[in-house]
Chain A
Amino acid sequence: MGQYRQPIISTCHFVSYQVEILDWKTKKQLCFLDKVEPNATIREIRLMFHKLYPRWYPARQSIKLDPKGKSLRDEEILQHLPVGTTATLYFKDLGPQIGWTTVFLIEYTGPLFIYFLFYFRMPFVYGLDERFTSSPHPVVNLACICHSFHYIKRLIETVFVHRFSHGTMPLRNIVKNCLYYWGFAAWLAYYINHPLYTPPSYGKKQINSAVIMFLLCEAGNFSIHVALSDLRRNGSKIRKIPYPTKNPFTWLFFFVSCPNYTYEVGTWISFTIMTQCVPVGLFTLLCFIQMTIWAKDKHCTYLREFKDYPSLRMPIIPFLL
């Protein structure tokens, strides 16, 4: 129809594109955009779609070429996609979104405060009679400091260090994550701060070595996060190959793809040794399993994306896993 008319804004001589957006499931046409600039980005298409459907703001939209394929990135340009001058795109609603930073802040503040409820032995936690019968063992104070330190460090990193590539995540994930983090924090704190807590079998020796290992792992984890953040100093959002830097803690990059996870597991192992508490050990195990899955995923992505990826690296444990 419009193709005989002179393109209005087009500075070059290309024909404009037509874009139809279908629902990914029902294949019903949701909108038809006539005359779209060939060099329009997906971001712009999202905005046009948003104008027609105010409730689906851009972050909620997943726009795909194939109903079952991967979502298109914001920066992708219409004319570089494998489509004719009439492009068919598929839309999927991702559900309400929430900012990544907000998510982490909520996830990590919970454990911090929940732990205190138990540390200060709120009367409703252990009952009144036991509350006055024993004063906490020094390791209980130490554990509280370490636990708080761990989560405060994560909060600070979330705000000042990490440069996330995703703006948002689906709202329903946060419920799941919070249940996980908060629930476990309560469970661990209950045992560590219990009036009937039994201190570690090997006393000071055990506690001190655990604290040293804990601090080293925290330092390592922090160094890796800084190194990852430095990869994006120019404001890009792509993933690059991270390499060891001058900081010796980052030398773990010689051997694994996700040293931050390795260090994170290390901190939890130290915390288990420090408190000699079975629930902490179980939580450590779960974290390890979870992070191993993620690390393997990320490792595979690195291998796929970079032909020259260092072959010595393993996902999470040097030479092993």
Chain B
Amino acid sequence: MAASGSGGSRADNGYGSQQPRRRKGPGALATAYLVIYNVVMTAGWLVIAVGLVRAYLAKGSYHSLYYSIEKPLKFFQTGALLEILHCAFGIVPSSVVLTAFQVMSRVFLTWAVTHSVKEVQTEDSVLLFVVAWTITEIIRYSFYTFSLLNHLPYLIKWARYTLFIVLYPMGVSGELLTIYAALPFVRQSGLYSISLPNKYNFSFDYYTFLILVMISYIPIFPQLYFHMLHQRRKVLSHTEEHKKSE
């Protein structure tokens, strides 16, 4: 549920990763659509990045920068839901379940935590994950764009498989601290909680749910992180050999 793809943890789903494509790639129409989608998403996250920098320069402080980028953040993070459809329709050859899990966990953090619990919006931890996500996503979406066009600059590839080493832990810390900060307010307000008795005989405690989400980071985070490191070794060393042999 939890560990989002903060550090660009979707290494394995790259359309246009260096391995030869097993199935035939997406058709011309799908490729055109994907290029547009990825260009728009790259631009969107660039807007967020610029918004952050401008607000910081204007204010001279990094507190509460969330409000300056709230709208584009919500819009473009929600737009990532389309990635699940891309996998479902098979125009992107990665696992629907894995992609859904990663996108949903971020959408969850955006809407069900940060948007819903107003009190945490001023926390610095929000900025922590927003910055991590922003850098990750700019690189990731441009990586996809360039790959689709078959002109992937080495720098972008290197960045995609390197920056996560810092960005991923950074994003995860921001996410965890934000959920933690939300806990007392959720308990106080009974947000999204359903209690017995009701005629559906069902109850739900959002407070407990959030704690479970935090616990779920423990097994998931190291797994994704090491998976990324492994991926990094495979992809980057592969290219270096490639270069030498050329």
Measuring CB to CB, which residues of chain A are less than 8 angstroms from any residue of chain B?
191-192, 194, 196-198, 201, 275-279
Contact = CB atoms under 8 A, between A and B. Distances in A.
A278 B197 contact: no
Interface residues of B, number: 8
Interface in B184-217: 196-203
A191 B203 CA distance: 8
Contacts of A278: 200-202
A191 B200 CA distance: 10
A184 B102 CA distance: 26
12 contacts: A191-B202, A194-B196, A194-B201, A196-B197, A197-B196, A197-B201, A198-B196, A198-B198, A276-B199, A277-B201, A277-B202, A278-B202
Given A192-B201, A196-B196, A279-B201, 6 more contacts: A194-B201, A197-B201, A198-B198, A276-B201, A278-B201, A278-B202
A22 B203 CA distance: 55
A133 to B, nearest CB: 12
Contacts of A201: 199
Contacts of A197: 196-197, 201
Contacts of B199: 198, 201, 276
A197 B202 CA distance: 9
A238 B146 CA distance: 55
Nearest to B194: A278
B100 to A, nearest CB: 16
A158 to B, nearest CB: 30
A42 to B, nearest CB: 34
A170 B159 CA distance: 43
Nearest to A188: B201
A239 to B, nearest CB: 31
Contacts of B201: 191-192, 194, 197-198, 275-279
Nearest to A191: B201
A278 B202 CA distance: 6
B202 A198 contact: no
A317 to B, nearest CB: 23
A278 B199 CA distance: 9
Closest 6 CB pairs of A and B: A278-B202, A196-B196, A277-B201, A196-B197, A278-B200, A198-B197
